Amino acid sequence: MGKWFLIIPMSMVVLFFAGCTPSHNNLNPEQKRELYEQIAQEVHSHQSRGEVYEKIGYLGQAVQEYEQANFYAKTAESKKIKTLRARIEEEGASAYQRGDVALAKKEYERALKEFNTVLRMNAEHGEAKQKRDALLASPSLSKQFNDKTAKLNALLALPSPKVKEQEEIERRVNELLHWQHDHPAALAHKITHFEEKHQQSIEGLAQIEKGHKALLENDLETAETAFKHARGLSATRKEALQGLVALQKRKDAIYYHSLSRREYTKNNTAQALRYSRQSVEADQHYFPTKEFLAQLTEEQGRLQSKARIQKGREYLKNHRYIEALEESHALLKLTPHNVEAKELLLDIKKSINKNLPQLLKEGEELFSQNRLEEAAQRFESVLVINPDNAISLTYLKRINSRQETVQMLSH
């Protein structure tokens, strides 16, 4: 990035996006992209600071940061600014009132914290500042305040504080900021901690974006390196772990895809399908498997269709019309435009029509022999061609009645 870019004033940046500066025409696409990224980073920085200030109760400063974000680019913070201003007015008045009540009761530490709460929300509140400073200067609170400051300074002077010492630092920083909202050492530590975390966040999010991009391109080594880098930064550890989970799912998908391909070369389509489905379950965004699964499904459909047609033809050859009809209907339900299934259905009806007298005769004989299921098949076959055939309808009623009787007696 050229030196000229680093010194562009933000007023020029704003004018650039408003189309009101001659520099707009002098920027090449790469410079425009870099300028856009600088503004995006500036907006993100103000939004992030605003969120931190809001979280620790510095509502006035949070509003200032959100307003800066809105100045550089229209964001969704306008509603939040309005809400925070209302909170500052309402909560600030309540805290100030509580401070006065505590002061009247000579509860000086409580009064100090309440007036300081007002200043955390609105640093320009003159009366609260005056009363807070007076309390801090009082003999009893002044000694406590100086002791707390000395202990914090001692901890901050440690070259490499351990985990417990870091926790103690945070506790004392928060405690002092409840006494004096603008305590130099405590506030400096708080802001420095935020800035470090913010920079970590920028770095980590860039690595996570790099990892996901590499994952899309199936560059697993680059993706893993990027996600692990982001995992090493506390600000993006959670998002990095999610990226590593996605990476492992991609590896699983590739593994199952390779198994599916291997089984396919062995003409084991059923097993290939099972592995392909496992691959899709592992990572539904892995395109090679989705494509191969579609191919396998289509091939399996063709094989199943061929098998059903052969089976239906075999039933037709043996005059087992009902079974033949079931095969043709099942195929047409799955593939309504299946030509072979339509031809099979037509041939079944032709054969039934040709053998109608024989079917009726066989049905009557089978009924007389009490072979009811076989007899029913003959009469049901006749009804396919002639739904109103009186003989078939009569015999089917008799068959149904006899079967009900047998069932009753069996109980």
Q: How many whole angstroms separate alpha carbon 241 and alpha carbon 227?
A: 7
Q: How far apart are CA 367 and CA 402, in angstroms?
A: 10
Closest by alpha carbon to 127, among 161, 91, 93? 93
Indicate the residue type of 252: D
Q: What is the mean pLDDT of the chain?
A: 87
Pull the structure tokens for residue 155: 């901890």
Residue bearing tokens 């690595």: 207
Statement: residue 362 has pLDDT above 70: yes
Mean pLDDT for 252-266 is 94
Q: What is the pLDDT of residue 24?
A: 52
- CA–CA dist 54, 154 (Å, integer): 29
Task: Report, as an integer, the average pLDDT of 388-410.
Answer: 88
How many Å from the N-terminal Cα to the C-terminal Cα in the chain?
92
Lowest mean pLDDT, pick from 13-22, 184-193, 382-391 = 13-22
311 contact partners, CB below 8 Å, separation of at least 6: 327
The predicted pLDDT at position 411 comes to 65
pLDDT over 50 (residue 22): no
The two structure tokens encoding residue 103: 């002061």
Question: For 216, how many CA atoms within 13 A lie in the half-sphere containing its CB?
Answer: 6
Write down the pLDDT at residue 17.
46
Would you say 53 and 62 are in contact if contact means Cβ atoms under 8 Å apart? yes
**Chain position carrying tokens 């229209």:** 74
Contact 197, 235 (CB under 8 A): yes
- Chain centroid, CA 251 distance in Å: 20
* Token output for 209: 């974006």
Give the tens place of pLDDT for each residue, 285-299: 899 999 999 888 888
- Reference 339, options 307, 309, 297, 299; nearest CA is 309
What pTM does this model have? 0.51
Q: Is 351 helix (H, G, I), strand (E, B) or coil?
A: helix
Fold exhibited by the domain 201-285: 1.25.40
pLDDT tens track for 212-258: 999 999 999 999 999 999 999 988 899 999 999 999 999 999 999 99
Rounded to whole angstroms, the Cα distance separating 373 from 365 reads 12
Return the closest-CA partner of residue 276 out of 299, 292, 300.
292
| Cβ-contact 112, 132 below 8 angstroms | yes
Q: Residue for token digits 């504080």?
A: 161
The DSSP 8-state label assigned to residue 28 in this structure reads -
Tell me, what's the pLDDT at 21? 45
Structural domain boundaries in the chain:
3-158, 201-285, 355-411
The tens digit of pLDDT for each residue in 113-169 reads: 999 999 999 999 999 999 999 999 999 899 999 999 999 999 999 999 998 998 999
Q: Which residues contact 280 (CB under 8 A, 6 or more apart)?
A: 253, 286, 289, 290, 293
Which of 341, 277, 276, 345 has its CA nearest to residue 304?
341
For 51, 89, 100, 132, 156, the CA distances from 110, given in Å and listed in that order, are 27, 20, 10, 11, 27
Query: What pLDDT score does 241 carry?
Result: 95
Residue 63, CA distances (Å) to 125, 149, 199, 293 in order: 15, 29, 22, 54
Amino acid making up residue 69: A
